[in-house]
Amino acid sequence: MSVTFRLNGQTTRFHDDPMTPLIDVLRREKFLTGAKPVCREGFCGACTVQVDGEAQMACLKPMGLLDGREVTTIEGLGNGREPLHPLQVAFAAADVVQCGMCFPGMVMALSAFVRDHPEADRTAIKTAMVGNICRCTGYERIIDAVVDHLKDGAAPKAELADV
Amino acid sequence: MSQSVERQFAVADSIDAALSARRSGAAVLAGGTWMMRDPRRGHDLPDAVVVLSGLSGMTDIAIDPDEVVVGASVTHEALADALRGSAGFEGVVVAAEGAANPAIRRVATVGGNLCTPDFSAADLVPAFLAYGAMVELATPERTLILNMAEFLKQRRELLRTAILTRIHLRRDVAASAHARLPLRKAGDYPVAIVSVAVDGEGAIRIAVGSVEEQARRWTSLENALTRLPGLPASPERAAELAREHMDFSGRDGVEAEGWYRCQVLPALVRRAFACLPKLETRA
In-domain check, residue A161 = no
Distance from CA of A76 to the nearest CA of B (A): 19
What are the structural domain ranges in chain B? Answer: 8-170, 173-275
Q: pTM of this prediction? A: 0.93
Tell me the CATH number at A45.
Answer: 3.10.20.30
**pLDDT tens-digit map of B159-183:** 999 999 999 999 999 999 999 999 8
Choosing among 1.10.150.20, 3.40.50.261, 3.40.50.300, 3.30.465.10, the CATH entry for B8-170 is: 3.30.465.10
In-domain check, residue A158 = no
A contacts of B104 (beta carbons < 8 Å): 42, 57, 60, 131
Q: Residue B282: which pLDDT band, with cuts at 50, 70 and 90?
A: very low
Domain identity same for A108 and A130: yes
Domain identity same for A64 and A91: no
Asked whether the beta carbons of residue B102 and residue A127 sit closer than 8 angstroms, the reply is: yes
In-domain check, residue A111 = yes
- The neighbour count for residue B143, using CB atoms within 10 Å, is 12
**pLDDT tens-digit map of B216-237:** 999 999 999 999 887 678 999 9
Rounded to whole angstroms, the Cα distance separating B195 from B207 reads 5
Domain identity same for A92 and A131: yes
In-domain check, residue A54 = yes
Phi, psi for residue B113 in degrees, rounded to 5: -65, -40
Domain identity same for A7 and A64: yes
Tell me the CATH number at A97.
Answer: 1.10.150.120
Asked whether the beta carbons of residue B5 and residue A28 sit closer than 8 angstroms, the reply is: no
A contacts of B9 (beta carbons < 8 Å): 1, 18-19, 64
In-domain check, residue A160 = no
Question: Which among B1, B31, B37 is the nearest to A41, CB-wise?
Answer: B37
- B173-275 in CATH: which number? 3.30.390.50
Domain identity same for A56 and A10: yes
User: ipTM, 2 decimals?
Assistant: 0.91
pLDDT value at residue A152:
82
Please identify, among A77, A102, A135, the residue that sits at the C-terminal boundary of a domain.
A77
Q: How far is CA B88 from the centre of its chain?
A: 16
Domain identity same for A42 and A101: no
| DSSP for B91-117, written as a single string | HHHHHHHHSS-HHHHTT-BHHHHHT-T
In-domain check, residue A96 = yes
* Domain count within chain A: 2
> Along the 163 residues of chain A, how does pLDDT read in single tens digits?
899 999 999 999 999 999 999 999 999 999 999 999 999 999 999 999 999 999 999 999 999 999 999 999 999 997 778 889 999 999 999 999 999 999 999 999 999 999 999 999 999 999 999 999 999 988 999 999 999 999 987 544 444 444 4
A contacts of B49 (beta carbons < 8 Å): 18-19, 64
- The domain containing residue A29 runs over which residues? 2-77
Domain identity same for A65 and A95: no
Asked if B63 and B92 count as a contact pair (C-beta separation under 8 A), the reply is: no
Domain identity same for A72 and A90: no
Question: Which among A60, A127, A130 is the nearest to B33, CB-wise?
Answer: A60
Distance from CA of A73 to the nearest CA of B (A): 15
Domain identity same for A98 and A124: yes
Which of A43-52, B3-12, B38-47, B51-60 is predicted with the least confidence, judged by mean pLDDT? Answer: B3-12
